[in-house]
């Protein structure tokens, strides 16, 4: 078995600093594009900056004489995670707060729920009265629970 030496590159993704403005300007000139603005990420391979990406706008400048497609994809992935981390977390309001925003009196709603017997919610009607939302009276078999439908007054 033979082993082939594969050159390994050292890859770094880091935030660009004020000292990197000349590097970003050089990449923009090579790419024939305007230099990206705002917070920047810099893709460095073996100590050589090859791409820069704006976290705010997503604008990219890269060295056109080097294979940078995979590096730019990594920069975009990192920028996406940075944006997600800096986004405000969704507020976790309690049920009481959500109901009060909708104009529901929480104490009245809870009292109504507590006053409703558990059997009244089964099959849509009150089984003690034998009605089903105005339909036929439901009397069921006590052993199997199978419903027997009969019309009122029949």
Look at phi and psi of residue 123 and say left if phi exceeds 0, alpha if psi is from -120 to 50, else beta: left
What three-state secondary structure class fits 139? strand
Mean pLDDT of 128-140: 51
Q: Is pLDDT of 136 > 60? A: no
- Asked if the structure places residue 75 within a domain, the reply is yes
CB neighbour list of residue 138: distance below 8 Å, 6 or more residues apart = 123, 125, 127, 130, 131, 132, 147, 148, 149
Quick one: which of 66, 69, 37 has its CA closest to 53?
37
pLDDT in tens, 117-127: 665 555 554 45
pLDDT for residue 78: 95
Q: Is pLDDT of 41 > 90? A: yes
- Asked if the structure places residue 6 within a domain, the reply is no
Instruction: Give the domain CATH number at 44.
Output: 3.40.630.30
Count of domains for the chain: 2
**What is the Cβ-side half-sphere exposure of residue 55, based on CA atoms within 13 angstroms?**
20
Q: Is pLDDT of 128 > 70? A: no
- Per the structure, the complete domain to which residue 73 belongs is given by 11-86
């Amino acid at each position: 078995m033979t082993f082939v030496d594969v050159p390994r590159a050292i890859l770094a993704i880091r935030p660009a600093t004020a000292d990197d403005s000349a590097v970003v300007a050089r990449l923009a000139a090579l790419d024939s594009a305007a230099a990206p603005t705002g917070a920047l990420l810099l893709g460095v391979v073996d100590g050589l900056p090859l791409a820069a990406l704006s976290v705010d706008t997503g604008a990219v400048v890269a060295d056109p004489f080097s294979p940078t497609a995979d590096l730019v994809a990594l920069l975009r992935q990192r920028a996406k995670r940075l944006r997600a981390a800096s986004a405000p977390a969704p507020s976790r309001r309690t049920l009481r707060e959500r109901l009060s925003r909708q104009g529901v009196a929480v104490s009245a709603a809870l009292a109504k729920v507590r006053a409703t017997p558990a059997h009244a919610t089964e099959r849509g009607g009150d089984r003690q009265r034998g009605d089903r939302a105005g339909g036929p009276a439901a009397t069921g078999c006590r052993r199997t629970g199978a419903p027997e439908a009969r019309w009122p007054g029949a």
